[in-house]
């Protein structure tokens, strides 16, 4: 007899199996899948099915199939929050408070003022969680066990942060600019999610207070009515539902700066240093490292011998610009240069393709690695670190020639 309980159980099993299939069996064949497989397809209001990593706070990643497009659909864009209480904000009453001890005046800006009182700015940029691919770490590390989908690429429209700061009269002694959002924790003892960026990054023409995402208002789950956009840097600085901006004459002291989102100093080949927040042994995570993703063929695909195959994917970095994509069809013994596609800007995903014709029936590993204009190439082995950040190891997919 089929009951509602058995139907729900069967549905849940089917969703879990579907999610596992979407993730692939061995996209990173030399790393353990671990908790990265423990996801089910689920929906949030206004979103289509995403891979749920946690429900409270909501952390959902984009299924791999939606990276076939350079622009990630808003309804499939990943969701990442640190605190569980996320208010529904009325755009008519929302205000952005701007001030701080290094500003000469305080402002209260409405959404209409952002849209009409400042010159608009627009760019395409990858928003990527610092812990993207953490679930592939070996050994296992704590934290949200993201697969490869804690990222997305969108066209962001808003106001240059430097223009807002100029109106508030930012002083020359400004060291950092800090942000706070409207989300809150259920318990008062939980630290508020407050972040800062160096003054020079805040004054960069590409750093925005964005109110549109790919031609539409920001979705609630992606920061409506406005969020900070820091192109080239990981998403920990992209404050959602931003409500307060402060120019600071001293480095920010907070859990989310001094304890969280830090890495061993000198571990990675970064250029953008956050000097005011560095210690003798650790440094805040900053720029996105050069990386790539194979979107087709999918892991486990069966390919016909002597039939041409197009390998396709995406490449990106922290803004230096992707300059080369190489593909190996023999497990890394030899590499050939692929073709880069349309360039939507140095902060955007860059599509790429490579064609080859499989030979005799066999098990085959396909790999891809990107290099950027600074001469940095993806590593062949994971650069392990306790938080599981910056996983940009070369991807491998297994196919069967049969």
Nearest-angstrom CA–CA distance, 159 and 152: 21
**Same domain, residue pair 305 and 322:** yes
- The DSSP element (H or E) to which 339 belongs, if any, is strand 339-340
Mean of per-residue pLDDT scores for the chain: 91
**Same domain, residue pair 161 and 277:** yes
pLDDT tens for 324-367 read: 999 999 999 999 999 999 999 999 999 999 999 999 999 999 99
pTM over 0.75: yes
pLDDT tens for 252-264 read: 999 999 999 999 9
The CATH number of whichever domain residue 188 belongs to comes to 3.90.420.10
**Residue 310 forms part of a structural domain:** yes
**Same domain, residue pair 271 and 306:** no
Q: Would you mind telling me the total number of residues written for the chain in this entry?
A: 402
pLDDT of residue 196: 98
| Cβ partners under 8 Å of residue 267, min gap 6 | 383, 385
Q: What tokens does 21 get?
A: 């299939």
Residue ranges for the chain with pLDDT beneath 70:
1-38
Domain count, the chain: 2
Domain that holds residue 347: 291-401
The CATH number of whichever domain residue 368 belongs to comes to 2.60.40.650
334-337 long-range contacts, CB within 8 A, separation 24+: 335/369
């Amino acid at each position: 007899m089929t009951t509602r309980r058995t139907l729900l159980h069967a549905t849940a099993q089917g969703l879990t199996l579907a999610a596992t299939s979407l993730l692939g069996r061995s996209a990173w064949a030399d790393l353990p899948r671990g908790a990265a497989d423990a996801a089910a397809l689920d929906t949030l209001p206004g979103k289509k099915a995403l891979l749920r990593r946690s429900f409270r706070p909501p952390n959902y990643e984009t299924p791999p199939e939606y990276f076939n497009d350079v622009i990630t659909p808003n309804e499939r864009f990943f969701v990442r929050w640190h605190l569980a209480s996320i208010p529904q904000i009325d755009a008519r009453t929302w205000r952005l408070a701007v001030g701080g001890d290094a500003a000469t005046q305080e402002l209260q800006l409405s959404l209409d003022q952002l849209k009409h009182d400042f010159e608009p700015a627009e760019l395409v940029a990858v928003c990527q969680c610092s812990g993207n691919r953490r679930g592939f770490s070996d050994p296992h590390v704590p934290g949200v066990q993201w697969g490869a989908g804690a990222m997305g690429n969108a066209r962001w429209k808003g106001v240059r942060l430097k223009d807002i700061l100029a109106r508030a009269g930012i002083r020359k002694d400004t060291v950092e600019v800090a942000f706070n959002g409207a989300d809150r924790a259920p318990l008062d003892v939980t630290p508020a999610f407050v972040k800062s960026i160096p003054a020079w990054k805040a004054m960069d023409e590409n750093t925005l207070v964005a109110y549109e995402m790919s031609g539409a208002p920001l979705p609630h789950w992606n920061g409506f009515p406005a969020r900070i956009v820091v192109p080239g840097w990981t998403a920990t600085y992209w404050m959602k539902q931003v409500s307060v901006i402060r120019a600071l004459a001293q480095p920010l002291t907070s859990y989310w700066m001094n304890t969280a989102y830090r890495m061993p100093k000198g571990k990675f080949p970064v250029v953008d240093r956050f000097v005011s927040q560095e210690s003798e042994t650790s440094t805040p995570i900053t720029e996105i490292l050069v990386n790539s993703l194979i979107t087709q063929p999918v892991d486990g695909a069966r390919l016909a011998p002597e039939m041409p195959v197009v390998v396709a994917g995406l490449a990106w970095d922290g803004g230096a610009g992707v300059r080369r994509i190489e593909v190996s069809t023999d497990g890394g013994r030899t590499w050939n240069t692929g073709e880069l596609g349309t360039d939507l800007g140095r902060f955007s995903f860059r599509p790429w393709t490579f064609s080859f014709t499989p030979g005799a029936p066999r098990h085959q590993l396909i790999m891809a690695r990107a290099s950027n204009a600074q001469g940095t190439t993806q590593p062949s082995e994971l650069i392990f670190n306790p938080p599981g950040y910056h996983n940009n190891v070369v991807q491998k997919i297994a196919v069967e020639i049969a």
